[in-house]
Amino acid sequence: MKFNLKEIAGNARNQFKTTMLSVSGKVWRNPLTREETIALLKHAIVYQHQSPPVHIPELNDAVTGEMLQEEADFEFEPDTVWAIDRNTAVQTIKVSRSGVVLLNNRQLLNLDYGCSAGLLDSPIKTESVTYPLVVAPWSHFWGAYYDYIMYVVAKLCRIEQVYGPEIWQKAKVCYPLFQTAYEKEFLRKLNIPEETVLDTRTNWKQEIQADRVIAGNNQVEYIPTAADIALLRKRFLPDLEKPIKKRRLYIARAGRRKVTNEAELLPVLKAFGFEFIEDRARSVDEQIKLFRGAEAIVSPHGAALTNLLWCDPGTKVLELFNQGYRPNYYFYLCHVLHMPYNCLVDRTANKENHWSNTAEDIYISPEELRIKLTQLLP
């Protein structure tokens, strides 16, 4: 029997978290379930949009018939915006260090993949500040480029759609900041004044209270709805000119999940007209422009493919995986945006598909790449 130490450790952490949530609910803050949260906020709804279910078909290798991606069906909660006011039922509204909204000093709202992070706070605060209006768009300490755009920026766009851009002149935006260049750029592109953005992550001593808090939900499946995807494109694509000439791009990856034999693949890619795009820091506008100008993209799985958001329908995508980690986020995104998708899987590691293999590097056969590109491109 094989033992996956990463999987065992992850399961142990989850069991510990479950135990601590149970204890906390009895003695301190009560982390609500998703269903309890939705029921509690039923009278605070100011906007809802129901996206239809999405079915992505099974993806098989055209030559071997091997299954590359399983078929999947996604059903969605309504994309929702709530405005929660202090009243006789809600006597206090607070924002915890993690950005979780806390009602009546007890109820932690579950709007973003659980709310246990609301327990990672100090029970004693020496300072307190109250704002008339707070927007609370995120409630976790984790996150990277994909998470920020799909979970935070999309929600900010939804709130702006409901209240208009003037909301950012009235509200304090409170959440644990990512402290990245792309975060600052997106906030600037949304015209959210820097002085209105508060980093809750450092609030061990200060208590943030609100007379009204505006919040939204993320989908349970860790993917955005087609409506939120359309909202992101509508909000940010018009800012840049549409390129005249389309390009074929190989997006390299320098960190984990890098392609170990990349040099062997370059002659094949060059023969199909692909440009090598090095992995380096780029501004948000540079990334949008790069992907919007692509007619075909080849890349190992990674955060850079979040920028498929900005591609035109019909853009062809070939995603490279290690065998042990093959999430379908970008397969789903391509399906929603009507972009032909295929993938190439490194079978040398002979591992089962599991999140614990997320950091494994990738080896790609040059001949298999040539065959895939022949299938994908005219």
List the chain pLDDT tens, one digit each, 378 residues.
Answer: 454 555 565 556 555 555 555 565 567 999 999 999 999 999 999 999 999 999 999 999 887 888 999 999 999 999 999 999 999 999 999 999 999 999 999 999 999 999 999 999 999 999 999 999 999 999 999 999 999 999 999 999 999 999 999 999 999 999 999 999 999 999 999 999 999 999 999 999 999 999 999 999 999 989 999 999 999 999 999 877 777 789 999 999 987 888 999 999 999 999 999 999 999 999 999 999 999 999 999 999 999 999 999 999 999 999 999 988 899 999 999 999 999 999 999 988 766 666 667 778 899 999 999 999 999 997
DSSP secondary structure of 197-243: EEEGGG-SSEEEEEEEEEEE---TTSS--HHHHHHHHHHHGGGSPPP
Contacts of 98 (CB under 8 A, 6+ apart): 117, 118, 120, 121, 139, 140, 141, 176, 200, 201
Identity of the amino acid at 259 = V
Contacts of 209 (CB under 8 A, 6+ apart): 92, 93, 94, 128, 129, 130, 131
Gap between the Cα atoms of 341 and 224, Å rounded: 18
| Residue 127 contacts residue 206 (beta carbons within 8 Å) | yes
DSSP secondary structure of 107-129: EE---SS--GGGGSS-S--SEEE
Q: Can you give the pLDDT at residue 1?
A: 45
Q: What is the pTM of this model?
A: 0.91
| Residue 344 contacts residue 62 (beta carbons within 8 Å) | no
Q: Can you give the pLDDT at residue 11?
A: 58
Gap between the Cα atoms of 358 and 353, Å rounded: 9
Taking the mean position of all CA atoms in its chain, how far away is CA 363? 26
CB atoms within 10 A of CB 352: 12
Buried b (16+ CB within 10 A) or exposed e, 281-293: ebebeebbbbbbb
Q: Can you give the pLDDT at residue 287?
A: 97
Q: Can you give the pLDDT at residue 4?
A: 57
* H or E, element range at 372: helix 366-376
